Amino acid sequence: MKHIQIAPSILSADFSAMGQAVETLQRAGADLIHCDVMDGSFVPNITFGHHMVRDIRKHTSLPLDVHLMIERPERHVENFIKAGADIVTVHHEACGASLKDVLRLIRSLGAKCGAVINPDTPLSAVYGVLEEVDMLLVMSVFPGYGGQKFIPHVLEKTREARAIFDRCNPDADVEIDGGVNLQNCGGIVAAGVNILVAGNTVFCSDDMEGTIAALKRGN
């Protein structure tokens, strides 16, 4: 079983004190920093661009896990990698038939690459890239806003993805994003997920360190 890692989403942070928030996450035991980039087109919300990633990079040595919820991500991946992104994930729904090319572009620029699928997208849509990715990110809410309820049926896809990775790409990670909390994290880990993105669960906690530790334990 792969080591369980927690990637708090800065979408739930106070944007006016982002540097302090990221430093606090690192001290509290986070494993990665999850950066949700939204363009107001692929998803209805707008968050931030590569300049924010560049500024976050100054405040942490943790890997920056940059999730691009944007149209035509191939136009922007280089800027995010230059800004300090260690992992860049792109949506099948945004890339379509060019997904494999975009993933190869990310890797050629020196970052790890990952594919993302929405809750209503079958895993079969990305079968063709699973041998090449460093990560599969399964959305457990529909992307665009934080604080949504977890959609349980997506765990069927994480189980299948883990089984495929075990056969053909054992170093790859399965990440889940959306509605992760202390009540459902055990079942999520049991379904093959080894990286849990958590926003409100971490940032709304009075004991951030304890919450991150509990998420890692699966309780």
pLDDT digits (tens, 9 = 90+) for 27-63: 999 999 999 999 999 999 999 999 999 999 999 999 9
- Residues spanned by the domain of 186: 5-217
Which one is catalytic: 171, 173, 177, 207?
177
Decide if pLDDT at 145 tops 80: no
The confidence band for 154, taking pLDDT boundaries of 50, 70 and 90, is very high
Decide if pLDDT at 124 tops 80: yes
| Among 130, 186, 132, residue whose Cα is nearest residue 162 | 130
3 state DSSP class of 14: coil
Cα-based torsion angle of the residue sequence 56, 186, 172, 103 in order, rounded to the nearest 10 degrees: -50
Decide if pLDDT at 8 tops 80: yes
For the chain, give the mean pLDDT.
Answer: 96
Cα-based torsion angle of the residue sequence 92, 98, 101, 103 in order, rounded to the nearest 10 degrees: -10
Looking at residue 146, what is its pLDDT?
67
Residue 177 annotated as catalytic:
yes
The pLDDT tens digits of the residues spanning 77-113 come to 999 999 999 999 999 999 999 999 999 999 999 999 9
Decide if pLDDT at 175 tops 80: yes
Looking at residue 219, what is its pLDDT?
72
The confidence band for 144, taking pLDDT boundaries of 50, 70 and 90, is confident
| R_g (Cα) of the chain, nearest Å | 16
Which one is catalytic: 31, 36, 39, 173?
36
For range 165-192, the mean pLDDT:
97
Decide if pLDDT at 10 tops 70: yes
pTM (two decimals): 0.96
Domain total of the chain:
1
Looking at residue 156, what is its pLDDT?
98
Residue type, 44: P
Decide if pLDDT at 1 tops 80: no
For residue 55, the domain's CATH number is 3.20.20.70
CA distance 207 to 65: 23
Residue 14 annotated as catalytic:
no
